[in-house]
Structure 1
Amino acid sequence: MHSINKIGKTFWYSTPVSVTDRPILGMVAGKNKTLMIDAGNSEDHANYFLEELLKREVPNPDIVVLTHWHWDHIFGLSGLSHTVSIASKETKKEIEKLLPLSWSDEALDARVREGSEIEFCAKAIKEEYKDHRDITIVLPDVTFEKRVEIDLGGVTCIVQHVGGDHAADSAVIYIKEEKILFLGDCIYPDIFSEKDNYTIKETLRLLDELESFEADTYIPSHQKPISKEEFNQEAVKLRSIAKYTESCNGDKEKIMKEYEKYVKRELTEDEKETIVNFVNGY
């Protein structure tokens, strides 16, 4: 199950749960206001986080920021009616498309068959909502285009739209005084197309934007927080594989040989999967 952890003086987070696809939720506690990052994949998920933080004398949030429109980051918003919700304009547009949908097993299965939903998400929704299917889609109260800066009192959050292959509406949250960059899912591949994929141009553009932040800690929503060194290693891997995908014209075997020469060892499963993702997106 979850654990609750703290980084620095003002940032708290809950760890992810893979079986129900619960992402990391974050909380930034300023002197004047408290800001929550992502609303969770259900009201239960959001409520668990808030209850655990109240035990640690962290107040309920005044503001909740959504990193992107995917269900596991927004379905808890209906339980946060006393907060002001903020998202990019693109995120609001995507959430609006969910308003008419049914979330019954039958409706989920039908969307998987027609290709508008993926099996992974349908399965996780059924797992998270075993006892009921009371899902209310709520639109964000406030939208922004590129960037918004929020002063919580002694700590500042910069929310910036960055996009990426995983979700074009992705935003990151930079907690300035803590040097924490909350990545959400932006650095993950597109898992919603016929084949999981990274595209060269979009990956390189995204990395340029992420590297413009002076961060010491990075938070990818479905893993553990990583250090600057670990993020840099991930960025070098993505940039290198993107370069070899381009120079080898998307030929998987050639890319693997070139990348193996570059790293001077056998490739890890993660590296092989990343190469396949770039080949799929070439």
Structure 2
Amino acid sequence: MAELRTSDAHWEPIADGVSVRRHRELDLSTGLVVGDRSCLVIDTCGDRRQGAELAAAVREVTPLPWIVVYTHGHFDHCFGTEAFLPCPIWGHEALPGFLAESAVEQRALWAARYRAQGAPRRAADLEGSQALAPDHTVTDRVEIDLGGRTVVLEHLGPAHTDHDLIVTVPDVDVVFTGDLVEQGAVPAFEGSSPRDWADVLLRLADRGTAATRFIPGHGHPVDTTFVRTQAIEVRELVELASAISRGEAAVDSAGTHPYGAATVEEVRKLLA
């Protein structure tokens, strides 16, 4: 794995004043929503160097004061916030506790993984990065006025984590989903609530229209059909894993699911 440079990220416009920044590292997608008075930065990358690069990239787009929101507390979405300070930081009300319990472990696990992949600078950057908790929290739903545009932060229930937030920009029909939606890779189920996740995805799909753009936490923007298909896949995954646990399906049938046998087994253990 080669050490990555600033040029390994770029902006993709989604709608007027709404962009996604695509990062080669982990195929991460961060977001920017610009209003008349302020802008909203959606996730801040995985370490202080990446966060500083993102902050500089935002400043190339707008000089407006920024607000940060975390879609959830996994390191690649929220360990890059230092460069944005001082600013308001929004997240779900369960997120401070999650970071307090998991930040040290996340940092150690991924720093070791980066060193094993031949990326020592990335490991050192991560080890030197803070996990800054939000100072503004969401229970169910909050609206933020950016000036001439309102964004909506919502928690739809436990899914990828117990503290996922989606960020909706109603005037342009764009929804930033964090890792509730995964494009280009199998969803990450560790620590998740698979049964609830399928329901949350169906609720997301039911809200969408033919024009809605969903921005995953990783991968390219997708449409409502993609979200609905992923909801069905997650529901079928849960059903298959449960049937195997009950002895109503053969263990070797796990490989028939598009996410693969290893993911079926992971979810079976989560459901046990």
Normalised by the length of structure 2, the TM-score is: 0.77
**What are structure 2's unaligned runs of at least 5 residues?**
1-7, 182-186
Query: Given the superposition, is the C-alpha separation of residues 52 and 281 from structure 1 closer, same or farther in structure 2, using an over 3 Å criterion?
Result: same
Following superposition, the deviation at residue 167 of structure 1 comes to 1.7
CA distance in 2 between counterparts of 1:199 and 1:54 reads: 37
Query: Given the superposition, is the C-alpha separation of residues 242 and 59 from structure 1 closer, same or farther in structure 2, using an over 3 Å criterion?
Result: same
**Which residue does the alignment assign to 2:216?**
220
Query: Given the superposition, is the C-alpha separation of residues 256 and 238 from structure 1 closer, same or farther in structure 2, using an over 3 Å criterion?
Result: farther
**Which residue does the alignment assign to 1:13?**
20
Query: Is 1:149 aligned to residue 139 of structure 2?
Result: no
Which region of structure 1 is more displaced relative to structure 2, 132-141 or 156-165? 132-141
* 1:25 counterpart (21, 30, 35): 30
**Which residue does the alignment assign to 2:269?**
280
CA distance in 2 between counterparts of 1:248 and 1:31 reads: 54
Following superposition, the deviation at residue 249 of structure 1 comes to 4.4
Query: Given the superposition, is the C-alpha separation of residues 202 and 178 from structure 1 closer, same or farther in structure 2, using an over 3 Å criterion?
Result: same
**Which residue does the alignment assign to 1:243?**
239
Aligned-pair Cα RMSD in Å: 3.2
SS at match of 2:57: helix
**Which residue does the alignment assign to 2:167?**
173
CA distance in 2 between counterparts of 1:22 and 1:234 reads: 18
The answer on whether the counterparts of 2:42 and 2:69 sit within 8 Å (CA) in structure 1 is yes
**Which residue does the alignment assign to 1:4?**
11
Query: Is 1:43 aligned to residue 42 of structure 2?
Result: no
Query: Given the superposition, is the C-alpha separation of residues 131 and 82 from structure 1 closer, same or farther in structure 2, using an over 3 Å criterion?
Result: closer
**Which residue does the alignment assign to 1:104?**
none
SS at match of 2:81: helix
Query: Given the superposition, is the C-alpha separation of residues 118 and 137 from structure 1 closer, same or farther in structure 2, using an over 3 Å criterion?
Result: closer
Query: What letter is aligned with 1:189?
Result: A
**What are structure 1's unaligned runs of at least 5 residues?**
102-110, 193-197, 261-266
Runs of 4+ more than 6 Å apart = none
The answer on whether the counterparts of 1:252 and 1:276 sit within 8 Å (CA) in structure 2 is no
CA distance in 1 between counterparts of 2:253 and 2:127 reads: 49
Matched residues, percent identical?
Answer: 19
